[in-house]
């Protein structure tokens, strides 16, 4: 019977492990990817995590994992597929059919960006295509970029990029935007923002990096960067019958990570929150571990 079972070894899970282990609890981290460190491993450069300016995402993940391992935390490779509440805590079933028992669970399975699937999108992933304006916007100073999407993320990204880039094309497949009218109004007043409605990206072309965006309206845009904001997919399939989710599928909880199920905590991108970043995931992990520690002490 483990004290704290952590699902996922991204920044949220690994920080939760540091805090729970240093409280002298018995901790086990279950991660489905071999030596996985979460989404940050996909980022070639991270400039907004304090103390690690210019760090490669893969290396930052490795450093955090080494830190967790140095504290003696055990990792287990496997995918959690379902959870059952028991009299003493939780039974977690893995895809391999193994069952792990724990007093508490901290669920940090993250969220995945919905990918663009058009000709060229795979080739230019990370070579001109980004899924995070607050992460990568600064690499496109005084450049021409396109933002794809129609919700608040797309509008926020376009606004942020309009302060950094030379020109921002905001491309939406419909006439009406789902995002806030007030942000759209601000964008409409920006001289360097061009809003293109009723258009779909058909193809991305270029040599080594994305250079042109071909739209189904026949228009070709010359760009250096493409920011895709067509939604996130929270990884909540395994917990959807256990805890309350919000309308977008994220687990409802405050910063303390307390969910609708006592003893089952959440941290990181999979939680309802505004800003999904490494630093906020790490902060969530510390808070959720603290909640789990308090829960175990008081039981
Ligand atoms: C390309 C890219 C660039 C980014 N750049 C930056 C940046 O520059 N700065 C920044 O702050 N943020 C950046 N981000 C965002 C940042 O990486 C995320 O906000 C952060 O990783 C979220 O951490 P997390 O621990 O909540 O989840 P994740 O990092 O998503 O980790 C979740 C982990 O859980 C595992 N998992 C999922 N389901 C299960 C299961 N059922 N069983 C077992 N394991 C499971 C996954 O394999 C994964 O390892 C970037 C993201 C991407 C994709």
Which residue is catalytic, options 135, 156, 157, 269? 135
Catalytic residue from among 26, 47, 125, 136: 136
Ligand 1, pocket residues at CB < 6 Å: 7-13, 30-33, 36, 38-40, 42-43, 46, 48-49, 79-80, 108-110, 113, 131-132, 135, 235, 238, 268-269, 276-279, 281
Would you kindly state where each structural domain of the chain is located, as residue ranges? 2-112+232-298, 115-228
Separation CA 3–CA 137 (nearest Å): 41
**Is 82 within 8 Å of 93 (Cβ atoms)?**
yes
Backbone dihedral angles phi then psi of residue 113, each to the nearest 5 degrees: -70, 135
Q: Whose CA is nearest to atom 7 of ligand 1?
A: 135
Mutation to probe ligand 1, out of 6, 7, 10 (largest number of atoms < 8 A from CB): 10
Considering only CA atoms, which residue is closest to atom 34 of ligand 1? 8
Tell me how far the alpha carbon of residue 173 lies from the centroid of ligand 1, in angstroms.
28
pLDDT at 134: 82
Q: Which residues contact 275 (CB under 8 A, 6 or more apart)?
A: 134
CA 71 to centroid of ligand 1, rounded, Å: 22
> Would you state the pLDDT for residue 42?
79
What is the pLDDT at residue 299?
84
User: For position 143, what pLDDT does the model report?
Assistant: 97
Ligand 1 atom having least distance to the Cα of 269: 26
CATH class of 2-112+232-298: alpha beta
If one residue of 28, 48, 109 were mutated to test the ligand 1 pocket, choosing by the most ligand atoms within 8 A of its CB, it would be: 109
Ligand 1: centre distance to CA 110 (Å)? 5
Low-confidence ranges of the chain (pLDDT < 70): none
Res 135: pLDDT: 82
Asked if 58 and 65 touch (Cβ cutoff 8 Å), the reply is: no
CA 286 to centroid of ligand 1, rounded, Å: 16
State the burial class of residue 174 (Cβ atoms within 10 Å of its Cβ: 0-12, 13-18, 19+): exposed
Beta pairing, strands 111-113 & 129-130 = unpaired
Fold of 115-228: FAD/NAD(P)-binding domain (3.50.50)
DSSP 231-246: -EEE--GGGTTTS-B-
Catalytic residue list contains 135: yes
Comparing 2-112+232-298 with 115-228, is the CATH topology the same?
yes
What's residue 190's pLDDT?
A: 97
**Residue 212 pLDDT:** 97
Which residue in 3, 125, 132, 269 is the catalytic one? 132
Q: Which atom of ligand 1 is found nearest the CA of 277?
A: 19
* Alpha carbon nearest to ligand 1 atom 26, residue: 268
pLDDT tens digits, 207-257: 999 999 999 999 999 999 999 999 889 999 999 999 999 999 999 999 999
pLDDT at res. 46: 85
30 CA closest ligand 1 atom index: 43
């Amino acid at each position: 019977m483990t004290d704290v079972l952590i699902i996922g070894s991204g920044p949220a899970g690994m920080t939760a492990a540091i805090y729970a282990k240093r409280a002298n609890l018995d901790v086990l981290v279950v991660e489905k990817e071999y030596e996985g460190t979460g989404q940050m491993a996909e980022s070639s450069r991270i400039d907004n995590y304090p103390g690690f300016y210019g760090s490669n995402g893969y290396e930052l993940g490795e450093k955090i994992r080494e830190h967790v391992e140095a504290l003696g935390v055990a990792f287990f490779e496997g995918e959690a597929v379902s959870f059952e509440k028991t009299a003493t805590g939780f039974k977690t079933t893995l895809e391999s059919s193994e069952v792990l028992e724990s007093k508490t669970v901290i669920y940090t399975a993250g969220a995945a960006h919905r990918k663009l699937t058009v000709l060229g999108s795979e080739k230019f992933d990370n070579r001109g295509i980004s899924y995070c304006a607050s992460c990568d916007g600064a690499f496109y100073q005084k450049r021409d970029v396109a933002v794809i999407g129609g919700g608040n993320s797309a509008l926020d990204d376009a606004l942020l990029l309009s302060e950094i880039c030379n020109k921002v094309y905001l491309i939406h497949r419909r006439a009406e935007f789902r995002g806030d009218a007030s942000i759209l109004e601000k964008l409409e007043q920006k001289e360097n923002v061009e809003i293109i409605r009723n258009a779909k990206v058909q193809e991305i072309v270029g040599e080594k990096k994305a250079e042109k965006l071909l739209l189904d309206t026949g228009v070709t845009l010359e760009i250096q960067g493409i920011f895709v904001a067509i939604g996130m997919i929270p990884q909540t399939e395994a917990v959807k019958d256990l805890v309350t989710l919000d309308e977008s599928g994220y687990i409802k909880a405050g910063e303390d990570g307390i969910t609708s199920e006592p003893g089952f905590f959440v941290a990181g991108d999979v939680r309802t929150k505004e800003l999904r970043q490494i630093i906020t995931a790490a902060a969530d992990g510390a808070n959720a571990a603290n909640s789990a520690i308090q829960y175990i002490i008081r039981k």
